[in-house]
Structure 1
Amino acid sequence: MLTIFRKEIKDALRDRRTLMTALLSSLLGVPLMLFIFSTVLSQVESQEEKRTVLAVGIEYAPQLENFILRQGYQIKAAPVDYEAKSRSKELDQPVLLVPQDFEKKLMTGDKAILEVAYDSNNRQAEFGLRPLKRLLEAFTQETTLMGLTMRGISTELLQRIEVRERRLQKPEERKASITEMLPMMVLMAIIIGGMYAAIDTTAGERERGSLEPLMMNPVSGWQLAIGKWGAVAAVGMGVVVLTIFSFFPSQWLIKNDTLRAEFQFGIKDAIGFLMVLLPLAASMAALQIAIALDCKSYKEAQVRNQIVTMFIPFVSLIPILFPGREPAWFKWVPVLAQNQMMNQVLKGEVLHPLTVGMALATCVLITVICLMYIAQKMRKVVMV
């Protein structure tokens, strides 16, 4: 078994495709995702902080103009061809459209209409929609309250009930809403990182004709299965370790203060991730070898394993079907259980030993079943 293990490890390290896939998926995936999150969030916040309103016909609404200026905003006239510039993404803000009869309707008590123009394909302009609508809602509320006061009606009649939020989140728990996609990225890196090693040690060797000489040695099916599985599992676990420890330098790439405050990954979190992911990587290695074992060519094995890989995003979306409390059987489903536990770690929650044990038992069961199949099938496949 050790001889086969050493041989397969050497083959995996010599295979540039396997090595580059493992390194790229583990070292670049998380930093790239965090960089994208940081950039997008910075763009949203930059629109929030931008104190400028682009308007057409603001001269028809002196009250609105006065209110906007009092809030510390500047008003700029939108270009005449604002529609074309918004479509071409030259304009990075939505445009406020004020009709000519706005002030007249406001004075007579009729409903006045304001429009905010933007192109939904222009992400920058869409990011500026929320702060502008919030500003206009504040103006609407002030105008309504002033109208009631002028008519001698107390504004407190509209605010007889005050609703306050009470957050039940523990102080030590962290928010991880922005980084909820990271667990799926890590899972994909694990599956893809070990997939090529699993294919190469089965269908790849069969295609190259190096599997038959290996079978001429006096080794049992179990020795072959465990030796090959150990090498592929080592590659998969190596990807896990590299991926998790890439979280630490990735935090240096985060330029956004909000994301930096939410994403705080330390040694304790890394240990939690390792406990969750190492057994999964070992079980996925056995599953990938079992899938690729019957394939006669590298491409066929690659297609079969890619089909399995496609199910991972779908499994991660299952909790959407169960809003509220998650069913207990989630803890027994591979990938889904690990996704939940990683989210708990990112939120700063403590993993329950029973939950970790249930996920570990499932991974061990998958590994044993796949190894039994591989040991029984290994020599039969070569003879076909």
Structure 2
Amino acid sequence: MKPKFMVVFWKELRETLRDKRALGLLAMFTLMYPLMLGYLLQQQITRATKPEREGINLAVIGATQAPTLMSQLKQKNIEVHEVAPMNEHAIGDYLKARKAVAVLRLSDKFGENYREMRPARVELWYDSATESDARQRDIEEVLTAYGSNVASARLLAHGVSPAALAPIQVQRFDTGSSAARSAGLIGSILGFLFFPAFICGLSAAVDSTAGERERRSLEVLMAQPARAWELVCGKWLASGSLAIMGITLELMLAHAILSWLPLEEIGMSWRLSWPDLLLVCLVSVPLSLFAAAIQIAVAMNARSFKEAQSVLSFVMLAPMIPGVVVATLDLKTADWMYLVPMLSNQTLLREIAKGNASGMLPFALTFLSSAIPALLAVAFASWRMRSERYVLAV
């Protein structure tokens, strides 16, 4: 004979799986975050591997006065188009029409000032409202390099070494590994990878408590020969199972995407192995059960299905607060982080991705940080279920 809580578990699970809305929610949150992470990284890789200064159109007024500058711009893959003189209003209209990234206007006395070694004025016009900031900076880099070359040539003409303007040379050596850089970047959104633990089982948790009480089907269930803790455990395991499936599939999908992407193109790597991922999924099981237990305990105190959803929408934000605070304050990894639900999972995954040998203690702390609060929440819900005021909604 099956244990009574298993009978309740299979009943709740079958009812949830018949709900297309719940399955759609499970699929959406399982796929959304890994695909979003993969898309963002793919865009960064695309920008890093495309040809230098590709697609930069520069309109130049008075280009004939600086042939050397025009040649240097073309050498840097910047397309130079000479245009007729324009006033300020016409330049603004030209840029708004997006005919060029920027307009370079050389002063009428540019050639004269250049020959007499006086500052030759160059005006760079651009529209900051358009998405061309990076390309505009590329043009400025070429102009700066051109000015430096001219200055060096003038110093040599006067018998002065250009090295006199650079009394020190700074050489930078980065000892950070590509895995550590990867974890640092990806770690900023690791919290979202664990957030489905609080989403995938939400519908089942609310429907099996506040929903059943609103439909008056809970009274029939309470009349069966089963104790309160058996009913709560069955509902808790049904909701927790959906959350476990969702977060496990999501972590595996995210790992597959990160392993497939050519992160080496942007100086990064993803060194998490499948055995490490399975350990992360294992210690994430209590997080899903903790989320289900909190949702059931909170939803049991709501008078209606809508009230339970409204309250839980705020409760679900609470586990994300520690991760946001740690990321905002840029705190270093500490042992206390493994004692906070959800933050412990984020910290553990980030440290493993960095390649740091953590040992088994962080895994154990991460497991217990969610398992103990989950059992306490289930105990509270079982005590609440024994109340006639709860069952009768009085």
Partner of 1:61: 66
Give the conservation status (yes or no) of the 8 Å contact 1:22–1:193. Answer: yes
Pairwise CA distance, 1:373:
1.0
Show CA shifts across 1:14-58 (max 9, x none). 122211111111023312431244235525654744164413325
Task: Provide TM-score, normalisation by structure 1.
Answer: 0.85
Amino acid at match of 2:281: L
Moved more, 231-240 or 219-228: 219-228
Partner of 1:152: 159
2:115 is equivalent to residue 110 of structure 1: no
Pairwise CA distance, 1:320:
3.9
Show CA shifts across 1:321-374 (max 9, x none). 433634543332222222222223344444442222222222122112211210
2:323 is equivalent to residue 333 of structure 1: no
**Separation (CA, whole Å) in 2 of partners of 1:344 and 1:263:** 12
Give the conservation status (yes or no) of the 8 Å contact 1:30–1:185. Answer: no
Query: Structure 2 vs 1, CA of residues 269 and 132 (structure 1 numbering), >3 Å: closer, same or farther?
Result: farther
2:310 is equivalent to residue 306 of structure 1: no
SS in 2 for 1:74: strand
Amino acid at match of 1:39: Q
Show CA shifts across 1:92-142 (max 9, x none). x6314233244555554337454251333x33x234234333323322322
2:188 is equivalent to residue 184 of structure 1: no
2:361 is equivalent to residue 357 of structure 1: no
**Separation (CA, whole Å) in 1 of partners of 2:91 and 2:227:** 75
Q: CA RMSD in A?
A: 3.2
Query: Structure 2 vs 1, CA of residues 112 and 354 (structure 1 numbering), >3 Å: closer, same or farther?
Result: farther
**Separation (CA, whole Å) in 1 of partners of 2:40 and 2:176:** 27
Give the conservation status (yes or no) of the 8 Å contact 2:187–2:350. Answer: yes
Partner of 1:50: 54
Show CA shifts across 1:294-337 (max 9, x none). 11211111111111233455433212443363454333222222
| Identity over aligned pairs, percent | 21
Pairwise CA distance, 1:238:
0.5
Partner of 1:119: 128
Give the conservation status (yes or no) of the 8 Å contact 2:54–2:77. Answer: no
Query: Structure 2 vs 1, CA of residues 298 and 87 (structure 1 numbering), >3 Å: closer, same or farther?
Result: farther
Amino acid at match of 1:318: V
Match of 1:220 among 227, 230, 238: 227
Moved more, 218-227 or 348-357: 348-357
Give the conservation status (yes or no) of the 8 Å contact 2:52–2:77. Answer: no
Match of 1:366 among 366, 369, 373: 373
SS in 2 for 1:169: coil
Give the conservation status (yes or no) of the 8 Å contact 1:35–1:253. Answer: no
Give the conservation status (yes or no) of the 8 Å contact 1:87–1:119. Answer: no
Partner of 2:140: 133
Work out which of the two has the higher radius of gyration on C-alpha atoms and give 1 or 2. Answer: 2
Task: Provide TM-score, normalisation by structure 2.
Answer: 0.83
**Separation (CA, whole Å) in 2 of partners of 1:217 and 1:284:** 27
Pairwise CA distance, 1:269:
4.6
Match of 1:27 among 16, 31, 34: 31
Partner of 1:75: 80
Query: Structure 2 vs 1, CA of residues 104 and 166 (structure 1 numbering), >3 Å: closer, same or farther?
Result: same
2:6 is equivalent to residue 2 of structure 1: yes
Query: Structure 2 vs 1, CA of residues 87 and 159 (structure 1 numbering), >3 Å: closer, same or farther?
Result: same
Query: Structure 2 vs 1, CA of residues 321 and 221 (structure 1 numbering), >3 Å: closer, same or farther?
Result: same
**Separation (CA, whole Å) in 2 of partners of 1:82 and 1:257:** 42
Partner of 2:244: 237
SS in 1 for 2:59: strand
Q: Unaligned stretches of 5+ in structure 1?
A: none
Amino acid at match of 1:67: Q
Partner of 1:278: 285
Aligned residues: 380
Query: Structure 2 vs 1, CA of residues 237 and 84 (structure 1 numbering), >3 Å: closer, same or farther?
Result: farther
Moved more, 249-258 or 17-26: 249-258
**Separation (CA, whole Å) in 1 of partners of 2:231 and 2:221:** 9
Show CA shifts across 1:57-82 (max 9, x none). 25143342132234454323479877
SS in 2 for 1:164: coil
**Separation (CA, whole Å) in 1 of partners of 2:261 and 2:354:** 18
